[in-house]
Amino acid sequence: MFEAGADVITLGNHVWRRGEIVPYLKESDRIVRPANLSVRAPGKKLVVVEGVAVINLLGSLFINPPVNPFEVIDDLVEQARKRTPVIVVDMHGEATSEKVALSKWLDGKVTAVIGTHTHVQTNDARVQPGGTAAITDAGMTGPHDSVIGVQAELAIRAMRTSMPVRFETASGDVRIEGVLVECTDDGRATSCESVRVSVA
């Protein structure tokens, strides 16, 4: 993904799905892990690349992180502000309410609060009154002819039978989804637009 042009990679609730990431997290300066994991977990809670600070949080609902995201965010924003005025927060969470609440709490303190995790892009990209861009969910880059990326037939079978099913990645209707935020040098957002591009 870095070779494809990504500057920073954020993570989410699958952070420990593959243990091989642990040594990589320790050495990389461009991967930010959820800040509200255990204090004993490896990886960086804040990275700054090309003048942009990036913070990643896990939402509480269903994900049950060890620490509430609101417990850690203020200190992290303070640390980030000492290094750059341009700060992006990726709030990886299930609940729209939690993501909207964080966006409002951080309005005027960071450049953007970008929700992730649900894989379904929301229709609420906006710049809030204090100058913080926000979207509840940036959506999914992957196959949209699917159940959030999984072959639909397999996901439906798992739900209909409540039995374990090995999930396979779908392949149809691949789209890149995300959000485009523009800001001034002092970190105030001037525009926020959701993006969706069909690839195949």
Residues that bind Fe ion (CB under 5 A): 12-13, 117
CB of 101 to Fe ion, least distance (A): 19
In Å, how far are 12, 21, 135, 161, 171 from 193, measured between CA atoms?
23, 32, 9, 40, 26
Q: Which residue number, 86 or 88, has a Cβ lying nearer to Fe ion?
A: 88
Q: Which residue number, 13 or 194, has a Cβ lying nearer to Fe ion?
A: 13
CB of 173 to Fe ion, least distance (A): 20
Q: Which of 14, 92, 117, 119 is catalytic?
A: 14
Cβ(55)–Cβ(72) below 8 Å: no
CB of 130 to Fe ion, least distance (A): 27
- Give Cβ neighbours of residue 108 (< 8 Å, ≥ 6 apart): 128, 130, 131, 132
10 Å CB burial of residue 95 (0-12, 13-18, 19+) is middle
| Distance, CA of 159 to CA of 91 (rounded, Å) | 27
CB of 179 to Fe ion, least distance (A): 16
Q: Which residue number, 37 or 189, has a Cβ lying nearer to Fe ion?
A: 37
CB of 117 to Fe ion, least distance (A): 4
Cβ(177)–Cβ(139) below 8 Å: yes
Catalytic residue flag (residue 92): no
DSSP letter string over 105-142? HTBTTBSEEEEESSSS--S--EE-TTS-EEES----SE
Q: Which residue number, 10 or 132, has a Cβ lying nearer to Fe ion?
A: 10
Q: Which residue number, 131 or 142, has a Cβ lying nearer to Fe ion?
A: 142
Token pair 């949080």 in the structure block, residue: 57
Q: State the catalytic residues.
A: 14
